[in-house]
Structure formats: C-alpha cells, structure tokens
Chains A and B, each alone.
Chain A
C-alpha cells in the first residue's frame, strides 16, 4: 500500500500511523560538524592570520634584534657592563651602573610625586567630584596624558626649575645629613647661594616626568574605583560611615590592585622617558643617590645623547643598554598587569 493512501486512510479514520521507513533511501548519516572555514571565510581567516604573523614578526623581531645586538657587548664586557659607571668607549671602558641608577632615581622621584597625586585625583574624580563635572574631569586627565613629553620638558626646565632649586636648597640646608638630600660643593647657608648647583638635577627631571606619569596612573586607578560595587558603598553609608570612612573601608580595599598596578604601569612609563630628562638633566656619569645635585643621566638620555658619534661597537653597547631598559620596563609592566587582573576588582565584574 503506498504511503500516501495510508495517510489519507488514517486521517479519515482518525488513527495515528507511524511513517514508513523507505528502505530504498540511502542510509542517513549524521551531518559532519566542522569548524573549518570555507569559501570567503577561508580567505578571511588565512589573510588575517598572515597579518597577525607579520605583526608578530615585526614586534618580536625588534625584541630579538635588540637581544642579539646586545650579545657581543655583554660578552665583551661581561659583568663589568653592569658595574662600571663610566662611559668612555675610547678607553674601552663602559658600563651602565651610573645611568641605571640615574634612571631608577628619576623614576623614584617621579613616582613619589605622582603616586599620591594620582591617587588623590582618582579618588576625587570617582567619589568627591559633583556628578555633572565628572566626565569633564576624566577628559581633562586624559588630555593631560596626551600632552607631548617635550611640553612637560619645557615646563620643567623653564617654569619649575628655579622654584625647585630654591626648594632643593632648603632641603639641603635642613635635611642635608640624609645622603639623599645632600649636595656636594655647595654651601646652602652662603650669602649668595649657588643655585646652579641645585638646578638641572634628577629632582627637577623627576618632577617633569611625574607630570607625564600621573595621568596614566590616575586613569587606571579611576577605572578600578569606578567598578566598586555600588551596594557595598551604600551599605557602608547606611551603617553610618562618613564619606571618608566609606572610601577607606570600601573603595580603597576594593581598588588596591588597581592602585598598585596603576602605579607600576606609571613606573614603566617613567623609566623610558627621554626628552624631558634630556632637556633638564645635565649629563654626568657618576653613581650617586644625591638627587638634588646638578647632573645625572638615564639610559634613554644616554642613547639620545650618544647615538650620533657612535661606532658600530658603541652602537651595540647602546643597544645593550636599551635592551636592559626594555627588559626592566617589561618586567614592571607584566607585574602591574598581573596585579590588576588578579585583584578582586578584576574578578567581580561582568560586562
């Protein structure tokens, strides 16, 4: 009996019939599920993969090239590359001890100024500022991050320098017994003090670098603070906390990862800053903690100052110094990113 007539019969008699399997039909096989791209997708995926590989080769190549170029220098000078403070390629004596400590000191000064200011600004924007001014303030901080570094260099060397020198002299006079604030070959109590001994110092350079670092650290901190759960803040207020009590007991503990991470990210930027330091600092090759004294050098300023008259072996030494700087920055940035992403502020959000 053909299937069609069975169906008609079933409908007429109101009975249910099972469909009859057609024996002649081909055996039904499960559809193959494949994630492989076909057609235009194939072109898309492979071409985008090529773009990714090209960028990988370019960016990775830079890093590998730096390391490869640094090798002969490191092999030639060995450990003394890290312990020698002079940079005299003519005498075959060079090392990065002085510039490395200089880099760290400038970054330290910059962070000790930028960190509290960034934290305060971030807290003000996220907790204290009137709601309608908030987006304007955020834009202003971002604008500050976009201001070119040479502007901060000019600002530091022409506007801040003289004031900072006066401050430095006072610090030397009153806190000069601390090695950090000591200034050699200058008498702070002289009738006509030598202000030039207090200018062009790592302290002034640090102030300029701090202004570059501040907006970046502030942006990270503000982002983390803005993710604080509203309920917890309201709970603290409902329990009778003042605004400061709420900030201290809810916002800051919640954003601790962001505070540390933002500061370290700023530190990474401070380590590599060139042009402001080059404009302000008068170069000297000496391992010294005396931040208020004239002179000092950083790795990036060394590269910018010495690349022009460098022979190929000196160029390799400069590249080695740059490679060390890159590695330090990389470590700092990686730690910062890990801290921020591991913290509670990263875990408790869904977007």
Chain B
C-alpha cells in the first residue's frame, strides 16, 4: 500500500484544505506479513530440534555400530559431542561464526541443565524403584525390625522405629536450636555492637564445622567423658550442634533484609524496641524464618554422620530418648546397606524412599509458606514481605549483598 505522491495531490483540482483519501496503488508489491522478531520461524525450529535428533542418532551409530564403546556413559558423551558438532555445522551453513558460537553456547547450556535435571530425576526414581518391592508391603510402615534378620522376606519388619526415632531426635534438635538460633539472629540484627559482631563472626565460622566433627564432639563429651550411654538424646544434641549455626545464620540473613523503614516507622510511632521486634520485625520475616527453619530441619533429618556416632542402632521402637539406643532413618538405611544382603539392601532403599519423601514434604511445605501472599485486590501487587531471592536460606553464606543498614544509607 503506497500513498499517491504528494505532487499529485497538489496538482489535483479540488479546493485547498480538503481531505483526500489515499488511493491504492495497483502496481505496488503485495503486502507481506512481517516475521516476528522474537519467535523462531518454523525453519529455525526444525534446524534446532533436528540438530539434537541427528546428534543423538549419530551417537547411536557411532557407539553401537562403529566403535567398541558400549555402555550408557559413552552414549551420553558421544551424543553430547555429536549434537554440538551438528549444531555448529547447521548454524555455520546459514549464519556467520558469531551466530554459530551463539547457537553452540545455547546448546551447551540447555543440554548441561538437562543433564543435571536427569541426574536429579534418576536419583529419585532409582531409589524408589529399588525399594519398591519392600514398599508395597503395608507392614513396612507399621512394623519395626525386632527379630527380623537381614534375609527375612518383606512381609516382616518395617521402618516404624526409624521414623519414630528420626522424629524424636529432630524434635529435640528443633526444641534446642529454634529458640537459640532465632534469638541469636535477633540479637545480631537488633542489638548491633561490638559483641554482636563477635557472635556473628563465630557463628559464621562454625557453619564450616563438618557434620561428622559435630557428632564426634558429642561422642567425646557426652558419651566418653560424661559416661552417658548412646541414646536418642545424644543424637539430638549432635544434630543440634550441627544445626545451630546453620539456623542462626539463615535467620540472621532473613532478618537483615527486613526493610529498615518498617523498624523506624514502628519506633517513630513510639513502640519500644521489644514491641518493634515482636510486632513488626518477626511478623514481616515470618515466611523467611519458617523457610529457614524447615530447611534446617530437612538438613538435620537427612544427615547421617552425627547420628552414626551417637545414637546406637536399635531394632525396635524406642520412645524415650534417654533410654538407651535408638534408630533413625539415615542410620537405618546405612546399616542395612552395609549388610550387603539383597533383601536388606532393598529394605534400605525403601527406607531411603521414606526419608526422601519426608524431606520432600518438608521442602514443599517450606516453599508454600515462603510464597508471598496474594493481596485480595488484584489491582495492587504487593511486594513480598521478604525478598526470597535475596534471602534464600539454603545458601549458607547468606545474601550476596547484605542491604546497607539504614543509618549508613544517606
């Protein structure tokens, strides 16, 4: 569609000041729909997907027919290399080296990330499949292992004592670490000073404590030096020693990203510091704190090494944590795997599946709590109370950039 040249308009004999409708020029080229800039065309899609498919096919040809490279790892490696090669060739055919490099990088990123995803899925699926034969028996969830030998069938024995033990030990650990950890975090953020700095340095340093050393510490002090027997209490204490720095640190990170303006507003309205903490800081940080604690618990429940040294290995349900040996899920898995009997190993995998399920439930709960609440009116989108990208408690070192404290901010 083109406009008639302006000279035509000027020379036409209509009165000056009249509006002219543009006339269609029949000689103009037909209109072509402009291709979308962002989206891939069908051709490009075909080339990209086709490169991957042909790379994998080529890998099959090379590993299974041409070269003596049997086995899954070789297939994966060769497929990766072939995909890159085919991608490079197809990209270089149409575009220059710059674009080919871009496409190559995109392929590396995508396949690398896919590999990590496959690894995660493979671990979960593998553990579940290996333990399936034991998991389908209901008594696995309602029985303990008293009187059950490693060769016994799956219709006897179960994981109940380990689940109970794990819950009691982690309960002890939570009862100790939660008040102390969050209290320390409040102390470090709300009462700043030289002493708080010392506490923060020490707590941060102790997050480097390997979990086995935490177990060894409790073993040396509580069991060898003080002479108490191995018990659920000792295991709970060992988990506490391991979890305390982690929870204190994660909570500290979460409290530090509470906006300083909220604190100042509360203080300016005449609230005392105590009321500010209780009514403003803690409610604001609640989702982040919950996430920090639940992930700390997930870490504590899955850690084998402190429990290995301190709890002993009971085969029956023990409810009293001070009453001698106890069992827990990771220890149950570890000790059964070590026997090497096929049935015991299958049971261990079933126990690992239960452990994985417990951790996943905790994890999903943490994510749901941490999710920013939707405001009822959809017009206003409220910012989440705590920026969870900044305050991801999983990252033990805390936010990469702790926000500047308000008094330093001009």
Contact = CB atoms under 8 A, between A and B. Distances in A.
A52 B187 contact: yes
Given A45-B191, A116-B112, A340-B400, A148 B213 contact: no
Nearest to B193: A49
A226 B387 CA distance: 13
B98 A274 contact: no
Given A56-B198, A244-B106, A154 B333 contact: yes
A190 interface: no
Contacts of A247: 105
B400 A223 contact: yes
Given A55-B244, A59-B203, A144-B120, A315 B224 contact: yes
A231 interface: no
Interface in B295-313: 295, 298-299, 301-305, 308-309
B245 A59 contact: yes
Contacts of A244: 101-102, 104-106
B406 to A, nearest CB: 12
A41 B126 contact: no
Interface residues of A, number: 109
Contacts of B245: 59
B147 interface: no
A163 B77 CA distance: 12
Taking chain B's interface residues, is the majority helix, strand, or loop, or is none over half, making it mixed?
helix
B363 A143 contact: yes
Interface string A133-148: 0000101111111111
A300 B242 CA distance: 15
Identify the interface centre among A41, A275, A341, A349: most chain B CB within 10 Å of its CB. Answer: A275
Contact of A279 (B274, B334, B396): B334
User: What interface size band does chain B fall in?
Assistant: 35 or more
A128 interface: yes
Interface stretch (B43-51, B58-66, B136-144, B214-222): B214-222
A345 to B, nearest CB: 6
Interface in A214-269: 214, 216, 218-220, 223-224, 226-227, 242-245, 247, 258, 261, 265, 268
Contacts of A329: 208-210
20 contacts: A37-B273, A51-B179, A52-B183, A52-B187, A55-B184, A125-B113, A143-B360, A146-B359, A149-B304, A216-B396, A219-B392, A220-B397, A224-B400, A242-B99, A300-B213, A326-B209, A333-B205, A333-B207, A341-B401, A346-B401
